[in-house]
Structure 1
Amino acid sequence: MVSFVTGVTGQDGSYLAEQLLAEGVEVHGLVHSAAAAEADEHVPSADVIVHEGDLADPARMRELMLQIQPDTVYNLAGISSVAFSWREPGLTARLSGVAALELMESALDVQTRTGQEVRFVQAASAEIFGQAEVSPQDELTPLRPVSPYGTAKAMAHLAAHVYRQRGLHAVSCILYNHESPRRPPRFVTRKITRAVALISQGHQDLLELGNLDARRDWGWAPDYVDAMVRAARHDEPLDYVVATGVAHSVRDFVRAAFSRVGIEDWRDLVSVDPDLVRPADAAEQCGDASRARTVLGWEPTVSFEDLVGRMVEVDLEEPGMPRQRSGGAT
């Protein structure tokens, strides 16, 4: 078995590579050309075969696909930040939307030329639903994105339908928010847990955030990676919502993080910065993963509180962070 993973240096890509390698799969990973010099620091294992390339270069992507001839393609790459998509809407559309369509075309080309089936997994996002009129959302919920990020992801999601009709085993996994200690600090969840760790040790005074009322369905990243692998291997190509089915607010996330370090009265330690509030934000995202549970036998394994706690614990152990914890952390 041979798998090609775009975005292999990201949170999901690193967990996916580890799972596939443990199963004996040959893993090829895409690393952006500009970051190739740093690839050894981010690729999860020396056993990953790294290829330089740029999603914005369809000819190079086609060349790579024909060279690797993968059984399965996991497209995890693209713009990963909703906030960034507002600053660079065109780039977001190119890398998270058009590039996915071009990768599917390349996968179909490999399948046609070699005669071997190529399975394609597109990492979609709950942002495609935007201001959904129903909650929780499932695979039949209408797409109503409210950001350039959501719009680009919606294009890639719909492209999976198109290429499925052309004979490609294309799957779109609609991933709700999923976190781990591998999240970069620019993401609000990791920003929260790092700040809480620093505040608990007296190294930071205040945590500044945007909309505390935004509600998201947060899960454990390795669980969501496992769902994508299961979806790829299922006989019938389908779309799957991957979610816990329980929504929490950013305020809940903050509360859980402070609780992990024994700080219950945290309100004076958090301030709202209007500049951090997005131009448009989906009010609540909560997914119905009934199809994934029934068809794939998939279940989330980590609770919300444990997820937050694991992230805080790792941040408390960061180099330079004092090991003695204040406030009776549990």
Structure 2
Amino acid sequence: MADKIALISGIAGQDGAYLADFLLRKNYRVIGLCRRATREALWRLDHFGIQNQVEILECDVRDYPRVEDILKKTQPHEYYNLAALSSVTGVWERPLEAFQTNCDAVVNMLESARRYSGETRIFQASSGKIYEQEKLETLRVTEDQSEFKPIDLYSVTKLAAHFSVINFREQYGLFAVNGILFQHESPLRPDTFVFKKIIKGVADLKKGNKKYLELGNLNVSRDWGFAGDYVRAMWMMLQAKKPEDFIISSGEQHTLRELLKVAFEALGIKDWEAYVRVNSDFIRKRDTSELGASNERIAVSLGWKPEYSFLSLIERMIAYEMEQRA
């Protein structure tokens, strides 16, 4: 018999699949919410071989009565809200849907929990982009010194959700927390994100399926970690004695140049620059050039630290892509 019940919205995504696998190993009953409960939509669960172990409920998180009904019936010990419209470009194309999914749905969740499932502990996937500042060269985020200054619509929606969690926590005493997630990768990452784009591109080049990679500013640096490490941090935050928000990051920064060098060298290619072309159309002119974050506070408070290094993450993802092409 399961020890606890966990509800995961966004179960079909990268983090949802890693979290479901993690919780099942801890003997949780895992219930996943997604808009379309098809095998194609839930392929990431098949990656872990757990699709038949997760209870799937079709639910649009913007549907307040549906969310309310699910919380009433399931009374989960823990609720992880990972659902979001997460593409910066996609948010600008669908701004109303972005606010409804990334912000309104969070208030739906909090209000439903307050009214019908008050003991449920809630994790909200916040974003490191809420700190990003327009045209700033370098930003090293620390929780006690850095300001929120979102520069795009996606970041605005995430910041609104972030403050909603804080307000419900302080007003009603909910155990609700924000995990401020910096960029995290895995073989299950969507291909639209630059880290995965590079990994897949290098594998295609090695196999002769591509002649070159086309990228933007190679000097941009980011804080990249492994998704499997980050879902462990999510769980640890809900096991704490008191609800607190934490930055979840690798604590390191690396440039796209470093990523390219390591990825190509993992496949025995030294002259990586011969296979890369810079396209100015891919350069985001408003982005912070160097963005990273300290994970010292969560390390001290909860004892969390990432197990995967930048190098081991790249090697794992390269190995996966090469297996897919074998």
Q: TM-score, normalised by structure 1?
A: 0.91
Residue equivalent to 2:126: 124
2: CA distance, partners of 1:28 / 1:182 = 20
Cα RMSD of the aligned pairs, angstroms, is: 1.7
**2:40 matched to which residue of 1?**
38
Answer yes or no: is 1:9 the counterpart of 2:15: no
Report the CA distance shift for 1:39/1:24 in structure 2 as closer, same or farther (over 3 A): same
Partners of 2:125 and 2:42 lie apart in 1 by 24
1:158 aligns with 2:163: yes
- The corresponding residue for 2:278 is 272
Q: Which residue of 2 aligns with 1:93?
A: 99
Q: Give the letter for the 1:31 counterpart.
A: C
* Separation in structure 1 between the aligned mates of residue 39 and residue 207 of structure 2, nearest angstrom: 35
Deviates more, 1:147-156 or 1:274-283: 274-283
Paired letter, 2:161 = A
1:239 to 229, 240, 245: 245
Per-residue CA shift, 1:151-202, capped at 9, x if unaligned?
A: 1111111111101111110110001111111112122111111110110122
Equivalent position SS for 2:32: strand
* Structure 2: gaps of 5 or more residues: none
Pick one of 297, 308, 314 that aligns with 1:302: 308
1:223 partnered with 2:226: no
**In the alignment, is the contact (CA less than 8 A) between 1:124 and 1:153 conserved in 2?**
yes
Alignment match, 1:63: 69
In structure 2, the residue matched to 1:20 is 23
CA distances 1:218-251 after superposition (whole Å, capped 9, x unpaired) = 1111110000000011011001011121111122
Shift in alpha-carbon separation, 1:51–1:253, aligned structure 2, 3 A? same
> 137, 141, 146: which is aligned to 1:137?
141
Give the AA of the match of 1:246.
E
Which digits, 9 at most, give the CA deviation of each residue in 1:21-42, with x for residues without a partner? 1111111000113x54635534
Tell me the residue number matched to 1:328.
none
Alignment of 1:149 onto 2:192:
no
Distance 1:94 1:151 in 2: 12
Which stretches in structure 1 are left out of the alignment for 5+ residues? 323-330
1:253 correspondence with 2:269 = no
| Residue matched to 1:289 | 295
% same residue: 36
For residues 39 and 86 of structure 1, the distance between their equivalents in structure 2, rounded to whole angstroms, comes to: 23
Deviation at 1:292, TM superposition (A): 0.7
After TM superposition, give the deviation of residue 282 of structure 1 in Å: 2.7
Q: Does the 8 Å CA contact 1:36/1:52 hold for their aligned counterparts?
A: no
Q: Which amino acid aligns with 2:155?
A: G
